[in-house]
Amino acid sequence: MKLIEKALSQYGIEEMAGREENSPQILEYFADLDYPWVKTDETSWCSAFVNWVAQQCGYEFSGKLDARSWLNYGDEVYIPAVGDLAIFWRIARDDWRGHVGFFVRETEDTVFVLGGNQDNKVCVKEYPKEGRRIGLIGYRRLRKLREK
């Protein structure tokens, strides 16, 4: 639950309207992951948000900005718990683009995800498990890093 609590602490953080101003908190997600070259909140940031939350909570993280990178982290699960990751394809199943966020709940056809860059903010949003332009790839449970 530590992951979901940290993610919820960011609820409502959103992009600044226009290209002149940028959300300092969204830029901090990138900077804390060693991507200081990202200077705009217009850069896709769903994976940066998940990385930031995982890193802040002491869990493994991909360190990558592509959502599908999360398919290589944690353990695959078939019955997700609150706080597990939900990873989606976007545009086409074989396209490189995707989306990632923290699992909240599901119905037969949809998944509710707490994530960043959902309608340009941190919020809970419903996604179809199988849609025309987005669909669920799978769920992952992140591992806690060993403390030294």
Which is more confidently placed, 1 or 64?
64
Tokens coding 140: 């992952």
CB 145 within 8 A of CB 61: no
CA distance 87 to 100: 5
Phi/psi of residue 136, nearest 5 degrees: -75, 130
Once rounded to an integer, what is the mean pLDDT over residues 57-66? 96
CA distance 144 to 1: 12
pTM of the model: 0.95
Regarding the domain with residue range 2-141, which homologous superfamily does it belong to in the CATH classification?
A: endopeptidase domain like (from Nostoc punctiforme) (3.90.1720.10)
- Is pLDDT above 70 for 5? yes
Task: Tell me the domain boundaries of the chain.
Answer: 2-141
Phi/psi of residue 58, nearest 5 degrees: 80, 30
Judged by DSSP in three states, 23 sits in: coil
141 Cβ partners below 8 Å, 6+ apart?
A: 74, 75, 77, 80, 81, 84, 85
Q: Could you read off the pLDDT of 21-53 as tens digits, one per residue?
A: 899 999 999 999 999 899 999 999 999 999 999
- Is pLDDT above 90 for 140? yes
Plot region of 94 (φ>0 → left; ψ -120 to 50 → alpha; else → beta) = alpha
